[in-house]
Amino acid sequence: MKAPTNEIAKLACLIEASETVVAFTGAGISTECGIPDFRSPGGLWTKYKPIEFSEFLASPETRLEAWRRYFKLYDEVCGARPGRGHRAIAQLVRRGKASCVITQNIDNLHQESGVPVEKIIELHGNGSFAKCLSCGKRHELDWARHEIEHFGRPPRCIGCGGIVKTATISFGQPMPEDVMAKAHGAAESCQLFLVVGSSLKVYPAATLPLLAQRWGAVLAIVNNEPTDFDEMADLVINWDAGDTLSRAVV
């Protein structure tokens, strides 16, 4: 298959013509960095029954199991570096073209590509550190691993003794309201809402493209497979996210 160069040229024009771009990214932007899409068929999340947030809270044994699973996954992907898609988006932010990045990913690669933290809205949190669920204190993963390996128990907050969990949003865990409010605000105030590498299947995140469109934004979708939103989008590119963005943003 050949790259859809006409569509990619159209995307470049849309970006050029827009004063405010909001990028919305999903797993597809990070697959070229060696981070598999855990939700895809055969992916890690389909092998285990996910641990619900309520189960995590309820039992120390379940917390220990959740941490062990997490480190297994983390050790496989922790050396990943930003890819072409991340670098292109970082460039749009540097130029003042993109106002922010909304991401479903927890891999910290937008930060590592140079996008300032305050311009990244992480809908599912961040997997590169941990937080106390009671007081919010940040804890490092190395510390959590040490606690587990040396004491055989799930880590407790060094400040207040509360339950410590990766700073991600688990199944059944409510999405923080301030994060959703920021994402809504960004979607409502952009001229181009650019979906990159997301199948837009996970709610409530998938409501954002519609919201952006309702407020007048042009909707462009770059994903290697069709999405349920393709029909209403102004431009659809079913092609590799990294390749598309590196050609459209020069």
Point out the residues that are catalytic: 124
Q: Which stretch binds Zn ion (CB under 5 A): 36-44, 57-65, 143-151, 160-168?
A: 160-168
Which residue from 20, 134, 168, 213 is in contact with Zn ion, where contact means CB under 5 A? Answer: 134
**How many angstroms separate the Cα of 147 from the Cα of each of 67, 141, 156, 157, 218?**
11, 10, 9, 11, 49
* C-alpha–C-alpha distance, residues 219 and 193, integer Å: 5
Q: Which is nearer to Zn ion, 86 or 139 (CB)?
A: 139
148's CB contacts (< 8 A; 6+ apart) are 64, 67, 68, 71, 154, 155
Which residue from 21, 35, 132, 205 is in contact with Zn ion, where contact means CB under 5 A? Answer: 132
Which residue from 3, 17, 58, 160 is in contact with Zn ion, where contact means CB under 5 A? Answer: 160
Q: Which is nearer to Zn ion, 91 or 170 (CB)?
A: 170
The single-letter DSSP state of residue 92 is H
Two tokens at 128?
């590169």
Q: How many residues bind Zn ion (CB under 5 A)?
A: 8
For the chain, the maximum distance between any two Cα atoms, rounded to a whole number of angstroms, is 59
Nearest to 186 by CA among 20, 7, 8: 20
Q: Which is nearer to Zn ion, 13 or 160 (CB)?
A: 160
- CB 148 → Zn ion: shortest distance, Å? 17
- CB 135 → Zn ion: shortest distance, Å? 3
Residue 202 in the binding site for Zn ion (CB under 5 A): no
Q: Which stretch binds Zn ion (CB under 5 A): 1-9, 32-40, 159-167, 207-215?
A: 159-167
Which residue from 13, 58, 117, 135 is in contact with Zn ion, where contact means CB under 5 A? Answer: 135
The single-letter DSSP state of residue 195 is E
39's CB contacts (< 8 A; 6+ apart) are 27, 45, 46, 201, 202
Residue 54, Cβ neighbours under 10 Å: how many?
12
- CB 70 → Zn ion: shortest distance, Å? 19
Please provide the distance, in angstroms rounded to a whole number, between the alpha carbons at the two ends of the chain.
23
Q: Which is nearer to Zn ion, 78 or 163 (CB)?
A: 163
- CB 131 → Zn ion: shortest distance, Å? 9
Which residue from 34, 43, 116, 159 is in contact with Zn ion, where contact means CB under 5 A? Answer: 159
- CB 3 → Zn ion: shortest distance, Å? 50
Nearest to 71 by CA among 184, 149, 178: 149
65 alpha-carbon distance from chain centroid: 24
Q: Which is nearer to Zn ion, 135 or 202 (CB)?
A: 135
Residues that bind Zn ion (CB under 5 A): 132, 134-135, 137, 157, 159-160, 162
